[in-house]
Amino acid sequence: MELRSPTFFSGAFLCLAIAYTGFFNFSVRTDPDAAEIRFETLVDAGALRRAAPHGERAIAMQLKRNASENDVAALKINTAATQIARKNYERGAELMRDGLSTPWGEALDQKARIEIEDRLGLAYIYAGRIEEAASIYASFLELAGDAAAHSDTEEAGEVAALYAEMVAQADGEFAGALNHAAAYKIEAGSVEQTLATANHMASLGGYYGMRSGAEYAAAGLLSSAYEARKKILGGDHQDTVQITLILGPLYSKIGRLKDAEELYLDAFHAQERVKGANSPDLSLYIKLLAGVYEKQNRFTEAQALYEHMRGLFRDAFGAQRYSINRAQDRRAYINRPVSQYFPLESAYAPGDLVSTAGYSVPTSKAPSIDEMKLRLAPDADADPREANLPVRLAQLISLCRNESGERISLRSGYRSYSTQRALYRRIGAKGTVTPPGISEHQTGLALDINVNGRFMRQSDRAFQCFEENAFRFGFILSYPPGNNYLPGKDSYEPWHWRYVGVQTAQLYREAGPYHEPQEFLAALPCYQERAATGSFPTAGEPDICREEPKIFAAAASEDATEQLIGEKPETARILNDNGNAARGRR
């Protein structure tokens, strides 16, 4: 038998290879099962870009073979990932949307569906379809509830926390897709759809505005929402003005002072037309605008605004609206500062707690529990049945409920030292619950506010109402943006308000350092004395009360003896100089 040459075998092998390749290519192009197998093989090998055409071919052939949309839903979701790998974001988003809309998609495990919806939201961002992305993440934000308040409360479950995580992780994508210096033009179709998108962007922007490092995402979203509302609703509409209170401080923070100035000017004139030129509510916008002028070294203009505000207060509250009270026990007084630099004694407990249910305060929990109690804190020079904390809280909530149309309720009031300790041991390390002894809730003067069943957010209409009006009822925002009063890096709490009395709250609005309530309360006797004599702080000059070296406050020790606070304080450390400050979360 004659032996075949090596050339013969090589040629035969080559022919077989060509034939197999031809058959394989023919198979994957005509047989949907073969195409899908090839797709899965490439995906498993990490060759996503090469897999995409095979996935598309398998989908088309399956449908041509009378498969239903439900039958190919999983394949569409998997193919979407390969299209996104090829940067074909539009097609990837289309495939994911189609897959999720089927019964297969509806039946997915909740976490699996959330993860696919998150990938869909990112695909929309990459494709430049910000409207659709904002809709997805705004719905995530709403479903996250309290978990979005950088708080892992007992009410916030694992799924809610996952929603919050997805929203938080998308901030960099929004920042990259939106130019914070030029508002994105919303193209959502009808006027109603455009306003809905603006609402989504405002909610997301308000959320990102609370988070350190997400300022550019927040500015891009909020500026887009602001321009849309201004165009459709007008500059005087309260929904338009509302964004000013979030976007303006962001502009100041990132150095866009001219833009912040224009926002505040527009908001001031809008509120002047709506509320009247003599309304003390204008003081919020005057103070914001004057602060921007001071940052620009335009002290003459800032001082003119401060003088205008004092004129409004003089007309509204009287020429002799402040008095000096040198003989007061700051340990029990309603103006006592409380923070990690000025802790409360473990034995401290207010003696005038009352149930808020008896004062028409809407509560979110059983009105009989201690957490729904607050101090009565009646005024000494007025009828204590009418001039007290619960009555004024009920009045403020009623006003803001009518203005906002939102459901507002008391979420949390008094907490004893032992209750705060137990709460902190259980969930404090995971959320915003502070260590015992540094919580204002122990005083019975602090309150957390719910809006529509979850923590108040700065994007809520109710928050704007509180910001404008709370001072008239004796309340101030305890933990404003950028504070260092609590352990942790994110201690901004737009839901947490503190009662200090009407006169003190008015003085804080009129003469206190903006968004520095603890510093103000620590130096309150100085501010009271200066205000009573008409020696208000002057724009561009050092604040004497902040630099005063002889400010006395109660010590952190159990005997609460008085001690001297250090000179020229620059932060809330003005409240305690002996190293007894409560340490960070652990």
pLDDT value of residue 448: 96
The CATH code of the domain that includes 258 is: 1.25.40.10
Q: Is the pLDDT of residue 154 over 60?
A: no
pLDDT at 369: 94
Q: Does the pLDDT at position 586 exceed 50?
A: no
Q: Is 154 exposed, middle or buried (0-12, 13-18, 19+ CB in 10 A)?
A: exposed
Tell me: the pLDDT tens digits for 431-460? 567 888 889 999 999 999 999 999 999 999
Same-domain pairing of 514 and 374 = yes
249 and 309 in a single domain? The answer is yes
> In what helix (H) or strand (E) does residue 269 lie, and over which residues does it extend?
helix 257-275
Split at pLDDT 50, 70, 90, the class of 397 is: very high
pLDDT of residue 4: 55
d(CA 140, CA 148): 9
Q: Residue 20 is part of which domain span?
A: 11-108
**Structure tokens given for 569:** 């304080």
> Do residues 256 and 313 both lie within one domain?
yes
pLDDT exceeds 50 at position 579: no
Measured in whole angstroms, the distance separating CA 513 from the mean position of its chain's CA atoms is 22
Residue 567, in any domain of the structure? yes
Residues 551, 574 contacting (CB under 8 angstroms): yes
In a domain, 213, yes or no: no
Q: How many CB atoms lie within 10 A of CB 353?
A: 16
Rounded-to-integer distance, Cα 394 and Cα 449, Å: 12
Q: Is residue 250 part of a domain?
A: yes
What are the pLDDT digits (tens) for 333-391? 888 888 888 888 889 999 999 999 999 999 999 999 999 999 999 988 888 888 999 99
Of 108, 135, 155, the residue that ends a domain is 108
What is the pTM for the complete model shown?
0.85
444 and 392 together in one domain: yes
Co-location of 371 and 305 in the same domain? no
How many structural domains does the chain have? Answer: 3
What burial letters (b/e) apply to 14-35, b meaning 16+ CB within 10 Å? Answer: eeeeeeeeeeeeeebeeebebb
Is pLDDT above 70 for 585? no
Q: How would you classify the pairing of strands 475-479 and 408-412?
A: unpaired
Q: Which carries the bigger pLDDT value, residue 147 or residue 556?
A: 147
Say yes or no: 282 and 412 in one domain. Answer: no
Does the pLDDT value for residue 92 go beyond 50? yes
Residue 333 lies in a domain: no
Least-confidence region, from 119-133, 289-303, 334-348: 334-348
Domain with 63 in it: what CATH number? 1.25.40
Helix (H) / strand (E) element for 368: namely: none
Same domain as 381, residue 312: no
- Which segment of 28-32, 61-65, 179-183, 310-314 scores lowest on mean pLDDT? 28-32
Residue 160 lies in a domain: no
In a domain, 543, yes or no: yes
Question: Is residue 280 domain-shared with residue 405, that is, in the same domain?
Answer: no
Q: What is the pLDDT of residue 333?
A: 80
- Cα–Cα distance, 570 to 316 (Å, whole number): 33
Q: Give me the percent of the chain exceeding a pLDDT of 70.
A: 84
Query: Is 123 or 10 the better-scoring residue by pLDDT?
Result: 123
- The CATH code of the domain that includes 482 is 3.30.1380.10
Among 108, 136, 165, residue at a domain's last position = 108
What is the distance between the alpha carbons of residues 283 and 28, in angstroms, rounded to a whole number? 72
- Residue 436 and residue 372 share a domain: yes
pLDDT band with cut points at 50, 70 and 90 for residue 75 = very high
Q: What is the pLDDT of residue 383?
A: 86
What mean pLDDT value characterizes the chain? 86
pLDDT tens-digit readout, 171-210:
999 999 998 888 999 988 899 999 999 999 999 999 999 8
195 within a domain of the structure (yes/no): no
Tell me which of 53, 81, 108 is where a domain ends: 108
Task: Give me the pLDDT at residue 188, please.
Answer: 81
Q: What angle do CA 267, 450, 243 make, to 5 degrees?
A: 20
Average pLDDT estimate for 238-245? 96
Q: Do 385 and 479 fall into the same domain?
A: yes
SS (H, E, C) 422-467: HHHHHHHHHCCCCCCCCCHHHHCCEEEEEECCEECCCCCHHHHHHH
Residue 551 has pLDDT above 60, yes or no: no
Per the model's pLDDT, the better-predicted residue between 153 and 339 turns out to be 339
Contact assessment for residue 478 and residue 496, using Cβ atoms and an 8 Å cutoff: yes
Asked whether residue 423 falls in the same domain as residue 569, the answer is yes
**Residue 188 in domain:** no
Mean of the pLDDT values across residues 73-87? 96
The pLDDT of residue 560 is 34
488 and 437 assigned to the same domain: yes
